[in-house]
Amino acid sequence: MSERNFYQEAKDILWDFIDITGIEEKLLFGNYSLWWYFYPSVYNWLVDRQKNKPIEEKLPTKPVKTSNYFAKIRGRVSYTLVKGLLEITNGIDVMCVSNSTNWQLVSDGRRSLMNDSQFFLIEKELSNLGKRFITVEMNNPSLDLRTLRPLRFSFQYLKVFKRPRRIEFTMDNKFSREYPKLIEFLTKKISFSLGRLQEDILTAEDILKKLNVKKVLVTNENGSGRIFIIAAKKLGIKTVAVQHGIIHNYHPLYVYPKKSEFVPLADKTAVFGSFAKSILTEESIYEDKEVEVTGQSRTDIVDRFSRNMLLKNLNITGDRKIILLISQKISRPSIKLFLEKMNYLKKDMENLLFLIKLHPNEKNDGFYDFLEAKLGEGAKVIVTKNIDLYELLSGSDVVVATLSTVILEALLFKKPVVVMDLPGFPDFLNYKMHNVILFAKNSTDLVEKLANVLNNKYHHPNLDWFLSQHFNQKSNATKRIISLLD
């Protein structure tokens, strides 16, 4: 009996739902459907239901109140003030639309700062080219005018429309009898967010016009990025989207039913490699001319990082074996089970360094304290959020992860990868088929595979071919992305 694919099941249900209900056309806003803003969250909700995970189905019934400070400035934010603070005089060549989920400490091998991991080098190159650019941070209401700095501002500054009215959304069809919970979740979510979403699109349109923006570059194919894509297309402004994370057959931000007519796609989408392009053009609705294989911007500086740089940053001396664990909050319970027998990894324990890289949205709350106690005095455990991922990868001997984009980046550094094989997670990129990483079934298996790797008993002969499918590894990916704006 084959293992269930919860992602395929959710996709089948939702695509049937779209076909039967015609919901795409029910949520038209101009030439595009706002349904695709809600689609990812509804899809993920369905995946969780298929897994029988506890689901929080309660949604707020009233718009969330803004902070007192934000309430005072709402409706009084002046574009003249923003233009002055940002030193804008003759318009903007490129507006980069970012998302707070992409922000982390990133390094170019020389200095580190908080930035969008996808825009870090793109912003630098735009500056070198003498382009006037500005970055809009979406979904970050914690920023206000007091933190405004040149070249960057929060979308919240310019949300000057009145508080949006609540728009009640209802559905009455035979599908609701088969999936009543889905209809209940969907109608609540749309009713709560539809008015705000329409306001955000009008605000984005207003920003683009009043700041005289020439081109728009978005770092994420999520709702916030699509807000600016819709606004820019309405105004005839060219848009380019940059791939963020892996693209696979079930990705709700990229894979749409072939019948879809009103999806707000960017004029050009820059992807890491040929595999991602094939998904978009063969499994989704993108045309070949709309997708360019540019590579990932940050791969331009892979060779700037080294093991010595990491050891110096950590103030570590001596020859240690370094295990890098990529943490994810959603997978913590499973990760803890997989680490239960780490104390059996006894060989050279006194020279073992266990590095734990937290996700950008994860807090260092002491969750991994159990690991240091389990390993004993010999090994050293360091939990970090403030060291660049590429620096960590360059200095590690082996990477342990659940399925994530970091696996691809670890392979780019030619590092052995051991994946905790969690139930219900498909092998999105066919790692098993191509034999480029190891899968651990349980805690005992994880210890055994780590021991083999640390004793140099593992190699991946298909790695170079695999990387050629997933990355354009030629240099100057950053320049190729920027060239799409021309």
Same domain, 452 and 483: no
How many Cβ atoms sit within 10 Å of the Cβ of residue 292?
18
Same domain, 215 and 335: no
Mean pLDDT score, 88-97: 80
Q: What pLDDT, on a 0 to 100 scale, did the predictor assign at position 163?
A: 52
Same domain, 433 and 360: yes
Mean pLDDT score, 206-212: 83
Q: What pLDDT, on a 0 to 100 scale, did the predictor assign at position 328?
A: 86
E strand spans, 230-349: 238-242, 268-271, 291-293, 321-326
The span from the CA of 417 to the CA of 415, in Å, is 6
pLDDT digits 0-9 by tens, 157-195: 555 444 556 677 877 666 667 677 888 888 888 888 888
Residue (of 47, 154, 41) closest to 99 by Cα position = 154
Q: How confident is the model at residue 346 (pLDDT cuts 50, 70, 90)?
A: low
Strand partners, 32: 29
The rounded mean pLDDT for the chain is 81
Q: How confident is the model at residue 251 (pLDDT cuts 50, 70, 90)?
A: very high
Half-sphere exposure of 139 (CA within 13 A, CB side): 14
Q: What pLDDT, on a 0 to 100 scale, did the predictor assign at position 237?
A: 97
pLDDT digits 0-9 by tens, 9-39: 889 989 988 988 889 999 999 899 999 999 9
With pLDDT > 70 as the criterion, what percentage of the chain qualifies? 80
Mean pLDDT score, 212-236: 89
Mean pLDDT comparison of 95-109, 152-166, 278-292, 378-392, highest-scoring range: 278-292
pLDDT digits 0-9 by tens, 126-160: 989 988 887 777 655 443 333 434 456 666 655 54
Mean pLDDT score, 440-458: 88
pLDDT digits 0-9 by tens, 39-67: 998 998 888 887 775 544 444 344 333 33
Same domain, 328 and 313: yes
Q: What pLDDT, on a 0 to 100 scale, did the predictor assign at position 138?
A: 66
Instruction: Pick 206 or 75 by higher pLDDT.
Output: 206
Same domain, 108 and 245: yes
Q: Is the pLDDT of residue 219 over 70?
A: yes
Integer CA distances (angstroms), 297 to 53, 270, 387, in order:
36, 10, 19
The span from the CA of 343 to the CA of 333, in Å, is 18
The span from the CA of 112 to the CA of 76, in Å, is 35
Q: What pLDDT, on a 0 to 100 scale, did the predictor assign at position 147?
A: 40
**Which residues contact residue 264 at a Cβ distance below 8 angstroms, ignoring those fewer than 6 apart?**
32, 36, 226, 229, 230, 233
The span from the CA of 211 to the CA of 48, in Å, is 42
Q: What pLDDT, on a 0 to 100 scale, did the predictor assign at position 467?
A: 92
Mean pLDDT score, 317-337: 86
Same domain, 119 and 211: yes
Long-range contacts from 349-352, C-beta under 8 angstroms, 24+ separation: 349/375, 349/376, 349/378, 349/379, 350/378, 350/379, 351/318, 351/319, 351/320, 351/321, 352/320, 352/321, 352/323, 352/378, 352/379, 352/380
Same domain, 37 and 111: yes
Same domain, 398 and 272: no
- Structurally, how many domains does the chain consist of? 2
Same domain, 272 and 319: no
Q: What pLDDT, on a 0 to 100 scale, did the predictor assign at position 250?
A: 92
Same domain, 142 and 160: yes
The whole domain housing 316 covers: 302-470
73 phi, psi to nearest 5 deg? -95, -10
Residue (of 33, 101, 39) closest to 244 by Cα position = 101
Q: What pLDDT, on a 0 to 100 scale, did the predictor assign at position 100?
A: 67
Same domain, 263 and 387: no
How many Cβ atoms sit within 10 Å of the Cβ of residue 278?
15
Strand partners, 292: 270
Strand partners, 218: 97, 241
Q: Is the pLDDT of residue 446 over 60?
A: yes
Mean pLDDT score, 201-209: 85
Query: What one-character DSSP code corresponds to residue 396?
Result: -
Mean pLDDT score, 273-301: 95
pLDDT digits 0-9 by tens, 380-422: 889 998 888 999 999 999 999 987 788 999 999 999 999 998 7
Query: What is the domain-level CATH number for residue 316?
Result: 3.40.50.2000
Same domain, 379 and 314: yes
Q: What pLDDT, on a 0 to 100 scale, did the predictor assign at position 83?
A: 53
What the block records as the tokens of 141 is: 């209401």
Q: What pLDDT, on a 0 to 100 scale, did the predictor assign at position 327?
A: 92
pLDDT digits 0-9 by tens, 67-89: 333 333 333 344 555 555 455 55
Q: What pLDDT, on a 0 to 100 scale, did the predictor assign at position 340?
A: 86
